[in-house]
Structure 1
């Protein structure tokens, strides 16, 4: 028998299954697998999402994030017996499934989270519009985390698995297989990330950051020029200095993008445009632009995947942004430093920014719409010049009056 419910993070009340499961990232999935006597034999509570990068029929690339598990069922989840090991099996969406297998090792009095597999239906046009491939695709990751028997495994930190353009994120994990006497243990076995008190900087930038909570001040990044071409010529232009700020394992890191060692590509469609950057430590950094109201463009989406020194990946995706808004047929410009907040763990600082993702004519920027910070500066300059000229006129006038008065005094003396 399988029982499941939605459980919110601490500080909120219980949410019934009829509400949206997984649509709000603060809610955790919770599962109790029971035996024939209705005693708990496997317990799990966790949060997760999946980020999938795929190719479209037009040879462009898109990224989707799956975090809605409102249709979740758990058919096939079992306690395990002499013939089968325990496992959690979850079905959701249209042809999506997720499985975690456990193994018991009597000789070491431990059990292990053996492997995790995730299958997704790339034929689902709602989730993967215009996908080139079709059918059910599966990624399987060996985990091999060993846990003492009668201990519950806990990991509050973010765990990331990446395989074949699929990034799996897990956090707030609590799981115990082989539950004894129907009672979940109070003894916790912490994951390595939660046990780590101090963490080395997980990224190797050009200039290594200080391994403290606050990184040392960084130099202004070099400004690079990027472009995307199609059959009609240049269709996207971008000029900017990029500084990436991210937090991993409670360590803040800042790196500057070096345009001299960065490759770029992309694609242009009538309603969307993509600029993709990649380098030795960056698998991809995507800027996705979109048209709104048929007369303006804006930055709608940013996706990033960076390699860490431990071999894992730091990946973030957000397709609900609203930055760099300007009319179609023009460019957007902001010379002053500007911050694009992709998530709480990842921000991009831009310098001397200018972009035009649509309607590029003859490979040149069109008239720019300036950001408010630049507009304020441009407004203050003539005001300051006007004040200075006014002050100069007053000084000249006072000097003239004083000189004229002295001249009259001299004539009276004669």
Structure 2
């Protein structure tokens, strides 16, 4: 779909306004909090620049248009004359103006419109400023991460100081659902670089942003999820040479980690012991092409969370800008459980955009209630074409854990095959030795039978 002239104007002029206001120091940082009682659920520290295109009123052309309409009435609404009047009407309202303004330090949270998400409503942060203007962010939680699902901007064209000679009046509302702001739960989203979000005939550029929703405390979490723009290096590129870059070194076998999830009473309800290796295909910023990378999960740098239920359980592993989510399902009729879903969110420094992959119809690691599943042999779990997961020395038990220990294990077919091979080889060698021994005894007996007593 091609860009409209209005979008082209925004693309061209917005960076210019941003640069000018940054140089002049016009943008201001504001702190906004949504509270429920004495607890803070949403907090944002940011600067925001609003760039709005609106149509203006041409008084001369308006007078001509009014005369044209009166003439049209006298001419009994001639079709040709009506067409000329409508063409003139486009002249009246076609001129456009652009206005740029930043959130003032007097910006405040609208407590009536903002919400922590009670009664099934999504969490909302609504900031009000000026003469009837508002900026809103709605949030949602998906598994182990939260995101800004919508940005809403309301601007009041009746504000003649901000919109001089506007041909309209009243509040205009524009919405964008392509925001691209997300982070793991209990993590602060941080982005110092300017981030522009377009909505209708407006654009909002955030900078110096620190933001968190679903907060566990009243202050931003010290753990941060850094946006991709901040992760790119600003150093000058090296002088091109003819040296071919070496192939990336394989990461080797990952370390084995022990992970557990506790229920509301503090009892361990899920146990896992495994080494994990991510196999991801993504578009590289440095190479400007799709690359495949193996990344080991370091258990010493991993934060574990999750939940336990009677028929579903989850294990969430978060390592800096990477979140890996396992979902286990139980069949209450057969008392069998299996790994039914894997979700990966990654925002690595070389990625052109955050990577997301999910599959909720898997059937891996199947075992019986009251037993754990074990597979020491390396397994490859295919999730989507661009992402697979390699497991090493794995043992999991998502249901029926007692005394914080694994129950007796059901071994995977790969381990059984690995054990069967030496048995088969040993049996073959024993058989070969037996055959040689029998042949030797038969040969010896025949040689003795050839001698006759004199």
Q: Structure 2 length normalisation: TM-score? A: 0.46
Q: Which protein is bigger by CA-based radius of gyration?
A: 2
Higher strand fraction: Structure 1 or Structure 2?
A: 1
Higher helix fraction: Structure 1 or Structure 2?
A: 2
Q: Structure 1 length normalisation: TM-score? A: 0.50
